Structure formats: C-alpha cells, structure tokens
Amino acid sequence: MFDLHCHSVFSDGELIPAEIIQRVRVLNYEAIAITDHADHSNFEFIINNLLKIKKAYQGSLPKLIVGVEITHVNPDLIPEVIKEARKAGAELVVVHGETIAEPVAEGTNLSAILGGADILAHPGLIKEEEVKLAGEKGVFLEISARKGHCLTNGHVVKLAKKYNVSLVINSDAHSPSDLMSKEHALKVGIGAGLTEEEVFKLWEVARKRFL
C-alpha cells in the first residue's frame, strides 16, 4: 500500500511529517508522498524540509517521497513552477486540478498536463481531449478519496479507460482519519467504476513509476 498525495503542517494538514510516517507505518504502507500545497512563495520551504526528514529516515519503511501539490497557481505559470520544484529536489509533482468542489482557474488541467506534472489531482470534469493528452504525456490522473473531490471519480475513470490513461488512488489526507487502509482504497477504486483486478493493476503501474 502507498499513497501519493497527502498534506502535513507545512500547508493545511494537521500532522507533522514524522507522525504521518508513523501512522502509515502502522497501516503497512511501503511508501508515502507528502505533497503540501505550494506556489512560488513556499515550494522551496516545503521541499527543503521534507528532504531533511527523508535524510533522517533514510533506509527505513515506509519510504518517504518528497513532493509538492502546486495549488491555485495561474495556469500560465504552472509549467515554470513544476520545473523549479523539480530543480529544488521534488521527487513527485502533483497539480491541484479543476475539482468541482472549489473554484479552480480554467486551464489548470491542461497546463498541468503540458507542463509535465506527475499526477493531476482530482481533475473534476476534465475534457476528453485533455485525458487523451494526459495519456500521451504520461501524466497520471487521480481517483480521489477526499470529500467533494471524489464526486467526479466516475467521469475520470470512464475517460481514462477509453484512452488507456494511468490512474492512481490517493487519499488527499489532511487529518489522521483521512489516511486509508488498503481495503478502504480498494473500495474507493471499485466505487469509482473499477474492478478489483483493475485496482490492483493500477497500483502495480504506479508502483513501477513512482516507487
């Protein structure tokens, strides 16, 4: 089990990174990506501090993946922030997609895909041509377990299946109760329209790419 999208006190999460690591260790995770909300003002702070934690926990499980979630950045600027975050040491770049749960600037999904994000989180009612492009660019689309963001999971899965686009199931955890067991993550996938076999397959694809 692994999760590629969660938040710590470095943005709007409730837990420090060490507690996130401990809690998912109890859930038998092999890896956890901490991906705090980031823009031009704070991505270096987030990445630098996660790199310190990663160094301290080097060699122990779960593996910490140093990430950011680029959030509410002007679409025209997203590719630049993706590039700069990678340069600063980010191992995983998530972009906060056009969820229907809050007002996200139109064009964010497309900019994230063209900019080379690893994961487009909760992409909402993403356009068919954008899903197709995500497949061509190797960008994973997220099936979200988070309240509100999860409302369009079925739409995302339907189009991802049509164009053979890689998916990942993430918690988008902000609090301890948001962290998922493997069994719960499986139910999220099935609820979104996947079979059990498809969920296990997408986990394996994501594992090979990110772990």
For 196-207, what is the mean pLDDT? 98
pLDDT for the residue numbered 167: 98
The vertex-73 CA angle with 69 and 76, nearest 5°, equals: 120
For 205-211, which contacts have Cβ atoms below 8 Å and span 24 or more sequence positions? 205/166, 206/2, 206/4, 206/140, 206/166, 206/168, 207/2, 209/118, 209/140, 209/166, 210/2, 210/4, 210/31, 210/33, 210/65, 210/92, 210/118, 211/2, 211/30, 211/31, 211/63, 211/65
Query: How do residues 146-186 score in pLDDT, each as one tens digit?
Result: 999 999 999 999 999 999 999 999 999 999 999 999 999 99
First-last CA distance in the chain: 11
CATH number (3.30.2320.80, 1.50.10.10, 2.60.40.10, 3.20.20.140) of 2-210 reads: 3.20.20.140
* Locus of tokens 């501090």: 49
pLDDT for the residue numbered 157: 98
pLDDT for the residue numbered 46: 98
Would the pTM count as exceeding 0.85? yes
Where are the alpha helices (H) located in 89-181, listed in sequence order? Answer: 108-115, 128-137, 153-163
For 182-191, what is the mean pLDDT? 98
pLDDT for the residue numbered 112: 98
Query: How do residues 98-125 score in pLDDT, each as one tens digit?
Result: 999 999 999 999 999 999 999 999 999 9
Domain chopping of the chain, boundaries: 2-210
Instruction: Classify burial at 177, counting beta carbons within 10 Å of its beta carbon; exposed 0-12, middle 13-18, buried 19 or more.
Output: exposed
